[in-house]
Amino acid sequence: MQKTVGILALQGAYQKHADILSLLGVQSMLVRRPEHLHDCAALILPGGESTSISLLIQKYELAPAIKKLAETRPVMGVCAGMVLMASEVNDTHVQPLALAPMRVQRNHYGRQLHSFTAELELAFDATPYRAHFIRAPAVESIGNDTKILACVKNQPVMVQYGQHLALSFHPELTHDTRIHQYWLKHVKQQ
């Protein structure tokens, strides 16, 4: 049976993730309602505007369904998705889902104007990874069971908590599929 990866499609760069999954031969579906999660083996929370996505998650009553899915299935949060996965956020306009024990600061690296690209050393691959940071969040603190997989100037930008992955940068904006492939290993292990 083919496993389907859900992609939260309320706002943001969700289609780029669908394109990468298609390239990797993985079936995906766009998630806009709680019932869409029933057939998903995993979920991607894409980049976008975290306050808008948070408000829409509440409006469409998705929070309980996402939390339930995350109890047994992998979640990958990218940029705004990382903010949503946190247990604590520096902005009261965002209602975090508390999927990983970490405190995250929204827009830590500045506004759109301050976007940048950096070469990352990945804990699971020897080849440097070229990452794009756009209004990127920063991890201020993490729980004991959270692994740091990549940093920029000693600041964690990619962390793993169990089967969940949270990133400050946008792997969907590159042709390098290693980040998605790494996370998909957890989906296949189910």
- Looking at 17, 36, 164, 170, which residue is catalytic? 170
In this structure, what token pair is assigned to residue 8?
């939260």
61 belongs to the catalytic site: no
Q: Which residues of 2-34 are buried (b: 16+ CB within 10 A; e: fewer)?
A: ebebbbbbbbbbbebbbebbeeeebebbebeeb
- Looking at 17, 36, 172, 186, which residue is catalytic? 172
Q: Alpha-carbon distance 167 to 73, whole Å?
A: 18
Task: Give the torsion sign (CA, 4, 173, 183, 33).
Answer: negative
79 belongs to the catalytic site: yes
- Phi, psi dihedral angles at 91 (to 5 degrees): -130, 120
DSSP count for the chain of H helices, then E strands: 5, 12
- Looking at 17, 36, 40, 79, which residue is catalytic? 79
172 belongs to the catalytic site: yes
Nearest to 54, CA basis, from 93, 14, 91, 26:
93
In this structure, what token pair is assigned to residue 140?
């201020």
Active centre residues (catalytic) = 79, 170, 172
